[in-house]
A and B are shown apart, each in its own frame.
Chain A
Amino acid sequence: MEKEVQNKIFEEILSEHRGVFFKIAKTYCKDETDRQDLLQEMMINVWQALPRYKSDFKLSTWLYRICLNVAISSYRKNAAVPLHIPIEDDDNQTIVEHQEGDKQQHLQMLEKFIDELKDLDKALMLLYLEDKSHSEIAEILGISPSNVSTKVLRIKEKLKQRFSKLDK
């Protein structure tokens, strides 16, 4: 693949799927500086893998695999960083102010819940919330679709328990 073509496709991926990069970075990395590094590392890896991309593969599956693989490895590298940033963060403050009390509490709970999950469960939950089908999640993670269903059910059950405690 010529460099010019590679750059062009890369720019297209960034403009169409940039949300994937940022959602994963935000889920796995709470520190702003580390997050920028993680974003860069994900982008580099996508760029480097581009010549090997086969169109018979769904682009989003391919992209999620790279970004999650990088995020999980880098996250481990920066594990000393606190897992959860309080909602009062500067970055979040403006939005939080506009949210209703209950919703804000639920959102805070969801964020905290995801933060506390193990790396791979976190990826599973992220893909589930992104409305990916069980078979696509299975393809990204490398486990069977039935295993995905079981795990999603288990995690959702835990989450429901959390929410029910909050609602009481």
Chain B
Amino acid sequence: MEDNELKVLWASYNEKVDKSLQISQKLLDNSSDLRVKTLLNSMKPTKIALVIVGLVWVFFIDSLVIDTFGEASLFFTISAGLQSVISKIAIGVYIYQLVLINQIDLTQPLVSTQEKLSTLKATSLGIARVLFLQLPLWSTFYLHDALFVRENLLWLGFQLTITADLTWLAVWLFFNIKYENRHKKWFKWLFDGKDWTPVIQSMEVLAELKEFKKN
């Protein structure tokens, strides 16, 4: 099939579009009532809310660490301190996402705009990876010196197992939550649902974009 034939064929496809134009005329007539809700607009409030909640949380933790410094157990200070550092990293990524949202200009070429949009969504998976690192800290913040006595040996064994398991899990998730593992069962189970689907798809698009830019 030659170029011209192909374009003639496409023109006949357009006839079908013309048909649907009539159906959708109503939409044009009501153009002044368009609801102002776009993809980017809908993303912003959630990110801003998460940054605010995150900052309140970090402020609370930091105040607690500072106020109890020297008095609370070292386990608490270190656990809460690390928890605060990890939360700050996550907040940093959310702020980066907000910057990206503000930078996205849909009037710019497709490749660069889609790259920004996909990076924006894909970084959400990075936040999840970082936040999983907090897991073992939830099993250590309540420990204190008085618990480390011979009478508590059995309990300490149990405690050690839990902390070790959570540490292993957190580190394993940190290194294994990646695009290449998207088809694995555990990955699908962990990132199932409508909130995560666009994130995974955006990673696919990033791979596509890389390919598309090649000659």
Contact = CB atoms under 8 A, between A and B. Distances in A.
Interface in B19-75: 19-21, 23-24, 27-28, 31-32, 34-39
Contacts of A119: 114, 205, 208
Interface string A62-101: 1001101110111011011000000000011011000100
A65 B197 CA distance: 25
B34 A159 contact: no
Contacts, number: 151
A120 B110 contact: yes
Interface stretch (B5-13, B131-139, B165-173, B178-186): B5-13
Contacts of B208: 118-120
A130 to B, nearest CB: 8
Main secondary structure of the interface of B (DSSP, over half): helix
Interface in A111-157: 111, 118-121, 123, 129-131, 139-144, 146-147, 150-151, 156
A123 B106 CA distance: 15
A22 B21 contact: yes
B16 A95 contact: yes
Given A19-B17, A92-B16, A95-B16, A69 B113 contact: yes
A141 B212 CA distance: 10
Contact of A76 (B17, B38, B201, B213): B201
Main secondary structure of the interface of A (DSSP, over half): helix
B202 interface: yes
Contacts of A26: 16-17, 20
A45 B16 contact: no
A143 B212 contact: yes
A168 interface: no
Interface residues of B, number: 49
A65 B38 contact: no
Contacts of B14: 19, 23
B20 A22 contact: yes
B38 A45 contact: yes
B108 A65 contact: yes
Contacts of A9: none
Contacts of B209: 120
Contact of B1 (A36, A74, A106, A123): A106
A58 interface: no
A162 B16 CA distance: 22
Nearest to A104: B12
Nearest to B2: A160
A129 B7 contact: yes
B13 A141 contact: no
Nearest to A152: B3
Given A22-B17, A129-B7, A129-B10, A141 B205 contact: no
Given A91-B23, A106-B9, A120-B111, 18 more contacts: A18-B21, A19-B21, A43-B34, A65-B107, A65-B109, A65-B113, A68-B110, A69-B106, A73-B39, A92-B16, A92-B19, A94-B19, A107-B12, A111-B13, A120-B209, A141-B109, A142-B108, A143-B213
19 contacts: A10-B31, A11-B31, A18-B28, A26-B17, A36-B24, A40-B34, A45-B38, A48-B36, A66-B106, A69-B110, A69-B117, A95-B15, A111-B13, A118-B208, A120-B110, A130-B10, A140-B109, A141-B110, A159-B6
Q: 3 closest A-B pairs (Cβ-Cβ)?
A: A142-B109, A142-B111, A129-B10
